Homo-oligomer: A and B are copies of this chain.
Amino acid sequence: MPRITPEHREARRAEIVAAARRCFSRDGFHQTSMPDIATEAGVSAGAPYRYFASKEEIILAIAGDAFRLVFGPVERLAATTEVASVGDLVAAALDALSAETVTDAAGRAVPVEELLRCAVQTWSELLRNEAVRARAVEGFESVRRGIADALRRGQEAGAVLSTVEPERGARVVMGLLHGFLLQRVAFDLTDTTGFTDDIRMLLEG
């Protein structure tokens, strides 16, 4: 019989992840030391190792979150939204990405800004870390499939041109979303509405 409840354990783990996310967001994966994370979490130097076998596992957990949480609203939207034009779809997705926080599986609010800063670093990491890459690709494909479905439904409803191939069209939409995210987090271009309007303009004339 454990001395702490599974809930407590889960909460402690979440605190460490949150601390790591703050550190990574602020200083980067490689400029953050394990003692930094422990200090930020207010625990001892050894404590994180009771929840993660290595620093890489923490990075992996956060890389997974970055994709899952950031694109969670987009996926839900793509699955449920009324059939709409491509412009509507992109606009709705960017809108979903513009919240201050998103909610994780346990209902905790996670700052989108932190997640995005970690997500960009994940792109570097997946270049030579197979575990990170696998998680990123899985997240990417999941969102892409969701968007492709939405495009398909749009075509059935006549709101999307039937000449667009949904799978490939979804790739272009993903490109726009990633492109926007990069501009927002790395180049401080945070004007979502303007970007959305411009896309509509280009797409719909």
Q: Which residues of A line the B interface, CB within 8 A?
A: 26-31, 86, 117, 120-121, 123-128, 133, 136-137, 140, 161, 163-165, 168-169, 171-172, 174-180, 182-183, 185-187, 189, 194-195, 197-199, 201-203, 205
When the two chains form their complex, are residues B198 and A127 in contact, meaning their CB atoms are under 8 A apart?
no
Chain B contacts for A26, CB-based, 8 A: 128
Chain B contacts for A205, CB-based, 8 A: 161, 163
Q: What 13 new A-B contacts, CB under 8 Å, besides A123-B182, A175-B176, A182-B182?
A: A28-B124, A28-B125, A86-B202, A121-B124, A127-B185, A127-B186, A136-B187, A168-B198, A171-B198, A174-B179, A176-B179, A178-B179, A179-B179
Chain B contacts for A179, CB-based, 8 A: 172, 174-179, 182
Chain B contacts for A29, CB-based, 8 A: 30, 124
Selected from B161, B163, B171, B183, the residue in CB contact (under 8 A) with A175 is: B183
Q: How many copies does the complex hold?
A: 4
When the two chains form their complex, are residues B127 and A121 in contact, meaning their CB atoms are under 8 A apart?
yes
Dominant SS among interface residues on chain A: helix
Selected from B31, B136, B161, B177, the residue in CB contact (under 8 A) with A201 is: B161
Q: A30-B30, A202-B164 are in contact. Are A172 and B195 (CB under 8 A)?
A: yes
Chain B contacts for A203, CB-based, 8 A: 202-203
